[in-house]
């Protein structure tokens, strides 16, 4: 990431949608590694994610601990409520994750995985694909999705546990009241 940033430093998350639209969120840095980063986002407005089987509401005042890796085909948001209780997780299938001192950016490949607090997982947004999952991005997304789903049982509980240890809720309380949070600041056409 160049010169090291301080924990708590402001940083932007930039999602480049498959349609080229940019969505940016103001975040705070929790951890910066050579190949990975963890950001904090405060949830300003409640939202609900719905699957065929169930729904998950992330209430206002909750927060995200977002993990990004340069060498993985996904990132993950771990959601906690205002008391620090785990609510669920959300994986984006991505490519071209870039990390620097000011921005964490990634190209979103439409397909997401929602994991409920009980561990049940649902694949989202397949209906948004321009072609079948097998054809989309020459099968890359399907392959990475299968690898992710196959590894969730061992990988996600460990990550949730590590997140609790390294980023305890009490250490984040000040950011819940004064953070600009996860706020859309722009939505524009990407010129890449």
Output the CA torsion sign for 162, 165, 166, 167: positive
Q: What is the distance between the alpha carbons of residues 130 and 42, in angstroms, rounded to a whole number?
A: 32
Confidence class for position 183, pLDDT limits 50, 70, 90: very low
Within 13 Å and on the Cβ side, how many CA atoms surround 148? 24
Query: Is pLDDT above 50 for 191?
Result: no
Q: Can you tell me the mean pLDDT for 98-108?
A: 95
Within 13 Å and on the Cβ side, how many CA atoms surround 146? 6
* pLDDT tens-digit series, residues 35-86: 999 999 999 999 999 998 899 999 999 999 999 999 999 999 999 999 999 9
Q: What is the distance between the alpha carbons of residues 139 and 143, in angstroms, rounded to a whole number?
A: 6
* pTM confidence score: 0.88
Structure tokens at 119: 């561990």
């Amino acid at each position: 990431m160049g010169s090291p940033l301080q924990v708590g430093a402001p940083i932007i998350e930039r999602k480049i949608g498959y349609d080229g639209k940019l969505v940016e969120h103001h975040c705070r840095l929790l951890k910066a590694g050579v190949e990975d980063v963890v950001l904090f986002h405060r949830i300003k407005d409640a939202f609900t994610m719905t699957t065929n089987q169930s729904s998950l509401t992330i209430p206002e005042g909750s927060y995200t601990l977002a993990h990004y890796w340069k060498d993985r085909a996904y990132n993950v948001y771990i959601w906690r409520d205002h008391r620090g209780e785990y609510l669920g997780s959300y994986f984006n299938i991505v490519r071209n994750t870039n990390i620097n001192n000011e921005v964490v950016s990634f190209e979103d490949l439409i397909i997401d995985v929602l994991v409920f607090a009980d561990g049940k997982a649902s694949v989202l947004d397949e209906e948004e694909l321009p072609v079948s999952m097998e054809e989309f991005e020459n099968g890359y997304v399907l392959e990475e999705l299968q690898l992710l789903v196959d590894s969730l049982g061992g990988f996600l509980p460990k990550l949730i546990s590590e997140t609790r240890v390294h980023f305890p809720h009490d250490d984040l309380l000040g950011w819940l009241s004064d953070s600009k949070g996860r706020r859309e600041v722009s939505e524009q056409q990407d010129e890449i």
